[in-house]
Structure 1
Amino acid sequence: MTKKKIRVFINGFGRIGRAVARIMLEDECCELVGINDICSYEQMAYLLKYDSVYGTLPYVVNVEDDILFIGTQKVQLFSEADPSNMDLRVMEIDVVLQCSGMFLTTASNLPLIRNGAKKVIVSAPSSDDMPTYIYGVNHKKYRDEPVISNSSCSANAIVPIFQIVDTYFGIESAMMSMYHSYTVYQNLLDSKHYSDDIRRTRSATQNIIPLMSSAAEATETFFPHLKGKMYAKSIRVPVPSTTLYELHIQIGKKTGVQEVNQVLREEIGGTYSDILDVTELPGSSLEYIQSPYSAVLNLSLTAVVEEDLLRISAWQDNEYGYAKRVVDMAKYIAQY
């Protein structure tokens, strides 16, 4: 008997939405049945087919009226600024992936539920008390809520690492530096910008730009005892993909590099094998483009100072790795 595929709808077809679509095309458990974005249908098709980071999609992609054809697959297209205008009932949607970067509250996503979707996953931290789950960390605590947050790409990388360190060594405080690829919200050339941070006016392709990050707040959600004891900075660098995390962690017991790496190897080889990986190779950012992991820890860069100040370094494709976790979460909650 053929297992029924999970029927997925993507609202917002930007970098994360398109990465999710590419991943689902290779996943026999999922069927992409609809996409909504305010750009033209021709641009949706073109940007899915051709990607400057991930390459050309190996399918014939074209649009006829409001149908996107990806090989033999048909996907219904919408262009609604207000998703509440879409009637999704006839499409039998199991999960809507809210990848627009907007609609960050439970209330703003409930119209999708009222219009026929069974569940909604927001691919960003929420701005209210929306339940937040990270696959591989707390997803098994999911309690059939209709709207949930998948947190941020950074939290998906950091939280499982912190979970290991806190369990074995006890975290007392932490500072996180993220050497992060530039994003579409930055300028290609110096120009005006809507942000309150004037540094966003500068060219992302020519500058290293330090920006404030919400990663500390997103991580605190999972470690209440560390509230106010963490700080994060996103340092945007002139590369189009991947992030290097430098995590400086004050721990509560004495240890050394060998013990830390042994713990990381054992935990990541077991409990966290689906979402984390380790390496000791001298790789750089290009090697981690399209990595399916939430983070790949580079154990050769682990350091310990004064036996209780720990540095852990990890790589992440902050688009593709995060999109993989969004798809994992969709497959998990669709069972309920």
Structure 2
Amino acid sequence: MISKKIHVFINGFGRIGRHAARIILKDERFTLVGINDLYSFEQIGYLLKYDSIYGMLPYDIKVENSTLFIDKHPIRLFSEQNPEKLDIKSLNVDVLLQCSGTFLTLESNTSFIESGAKKVIVSAPPLDAMPTYIYGVNHQDYRGEPIISNSSCSANAIVPIFKIIEKYFGIDAAMMSMYHSYTVYQNLLDSKHYSKDIRRTRSATQNIIPLMSGAAEATAYFFPYLTEKLYAKSIRVPVPSTTLYDLSIKLIKQSSKEEVNQLLKKEINSHYHEILSYTQIIEESDKYIENPYSAVLNLSLTSVLEGDLLRISAWQDNEYGYAKRLVDIISAIA
């Protein structure tokens, strides 16, 4: 028997917001009560129904006035840029998913609480001291804060892996490369771009484009002693979905490939089975489209050099897997 459903509101209906909505619609614990974004309501309904990578939703979806109907279930639509003018008190919002890519501080999200949301989860690393929780890593430590961050897709993949390695071997330093699918913030064709990084002007579908990444800072939140000992870069590749993580870790205690893989499997099976998985099969990126895990470690690619230089590879659907963790953490704090 399902108890009272958790009312969810999504602010920012881009790739992550729409993935979260798709997951929520299939989960009886939740009901989606509202969406706020600045593009047309017609497009909101259309882009929720049809997705070039993940397919068509099996629901009847239509928009009438300011309401999105999904198999007759009404969802209020808003187009409000100023959160102070977003009145959602009547929707009894338990959790607002902040998926806009903006509002990355405690202060900037306070207006959403004042507008009627009981709690806010930000789908990005914060720019201030906002409490940060990753489901399966530290969500059990949640202390009832009304505004929290779920960090980044990369941190959700990397941090639990680092937790295991730190537990058994200690980490002296690490370098992280993400072979990352292109995003909407890149150009399809060579064109002007608002970014200070001139490489973003180039076509995402025609080039491998190395970009700086905030994954090191997001990961260091959970490992403060490594703040000056982490480096990350995001290598954008011409695929529309999934990421391959290539993690090079300097160990404090020496080990071997066999021992590392054995302990990774042990920890995943006993403590991280909700968010991590592993495989020893040689597979490619399309295998992991719509994969629900934060990371799937490919143990056949694990290597150890000179006993203390460890290399780990892991797959992630950086959109769907991350959205799944957002929905998981809703249930943990609501």
State the TM-score bracket (shorter-chain normalisation).
Answer: over 0.9
Alignment TM-score, normalising by the size of structure 1: 0.99
Determine whether 1:140 maps to 2:172: no
Distance 1:199 1:63 in 2: 39
Match of residue 152 from structure 1: 152
Q: Which runs of 4+ in 1 moved over 2 A?
A: none
Q: CA deviation at 1:72?
A: 2.7
Which position in structure 2 is the counterpart of 1:183? 183
Alpha-carbon distance, 1:73 to partner: 1.6
Distance of aligned partners of 1:309 and 1:2 in 2 relative to their CA distance in 1, 3 Å threshold: closer
- Aligned counterparts of 1:235 and 1:120: Cα–Cα separation in 2: 31
Give, as a single letter, the amino acid of the residue that structure 1 aligns with 2:101: G
**Equivalent position of 2:330 in the other structure:** 330
What CA deviation, in whole Å up to 9, does each residue of 1:279-334 have, x standing for no partner?
Answer: 11111000000000000000000000001100000000000000000001111100
Aligned equivalent of 1:276: 276
Match of 1:78 in 2: 78
Match of 2:39 in 1: 39
Structure 1: 5+ residue runs without aligned partners?
none
Give the aligned residue type for 2:133: Y
Residues 198-227 of structure 1: per-residue CA shift (max 9 Å, x gap): 000000000000000000000000001111
Per the alignment, residue 7 of structure 2 pairs with 7
Q: Tell me the secondary structure at the aligned position of residue 21 of structure 2.
A: helix
- Post-superposition offset of 1:94: 0.1
Q: CA contact under 8 A between 2:2 and 2:29: conserved in structure 1?
A: no
In structure 1, distance between residues paired with 2:159 and 2:54:
26
Q: Deviations over 1:123-146 (max 9, x none)?
A: 000011100110011111111101
Equivalent position of 2:254 in the other structure: 254
Alpha-carbon offset, residue 2 of structure 1: 4.1
What is the percentage of aligned positions where both structures have the same residue? 68
Within the alignment, does 1:214 sit opposite 2:211 as a pair? Answer: no
Q: How many residues align?
A: 334
> Could you tell which deviates more after superposition, 66-75 or 319-328?
66-75
SS at match of 1:51: coil
Normalising by structure 2, report the TM-score.
Answer: 0.99
Any conservation in 1 of the 2:179–2:236 contact (CA below 8 Å)? yes
Instruction: Specify the code of the residue in structure 2 equivalent to 1:38.
Output: L
> Is the CA contact 2:187–2:200 (under 8 Å) kept in the aligned structure 1?
yes
Q: Is the 8 A contact 2:8 2:94 kept in 1?
A: yes
Are the aligned partners of 2:133 and 2:148 in contact in 1 as well (CA < 8 Å)? yes
Structure 2 residue aligned with 1:241: 241
Structure 2: stretches of 5+ with no match in the other structure? none
Q: Residue 59 of structure 2 contacts residue 71 of structure 2 at CA under 8 Å; is this kept in 1?
A: yes
Shift of the alpha carbon at 1:115? Answer: 1.3
Could you tell me which residue of structure 2 aligns to residue 196 of structure 1?
Answer: 196
DSSP-derived class of the 1:268 partner:
helix
Q: Is the partner of 1:211 in helix, strand or coil?
A: strand
